[in-house]
């Protein structure tokens, strides 16, 4: 089993995510967040605060061209 690394720094509504594969970022609040990972994947996460319920949708490049 290998080791991983992850660290995030929060600056207001923005969050910089540092990992072994690079730097990603996310923006949003408690209910909704847009994230772009270090390898270029993007997704939107919607959450209901205090319940543990969430919904995550990947945003592919193909969908944006249509």
Does 16 have pLDDT greater than 90?
yes
Structure tokens at 61: 């490049």
Angle at 47 between CA 53 and CA 56, to 5 degrees: 90
- The pTM of this model reads 0.71
Confidence of residue 12 (pLDDT cuts 50, 70, 90): confident
In degrees and rounded to multiples of 5, residue 65 shows phi and psi of -75, -25
Per-residue pLDDT tens digits for 30-63? 899 999 999 999 999 999 988 989 999 999 766 4
């Amino acid at each position: 089993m290998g080791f991983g690394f992850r660290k995030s720094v929060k600056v207001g509504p923005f969050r910089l995510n540092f990992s072994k594969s690079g730097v990603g970022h996310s923006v949003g609040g408690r209910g909704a967040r847009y994230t772009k990972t270090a390898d270029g994947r993007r997704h939107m996460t919607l959450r209901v605060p205090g319940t543990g319920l969430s919904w995550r949708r990947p945003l592919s490049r193909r969908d944006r061209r249509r």
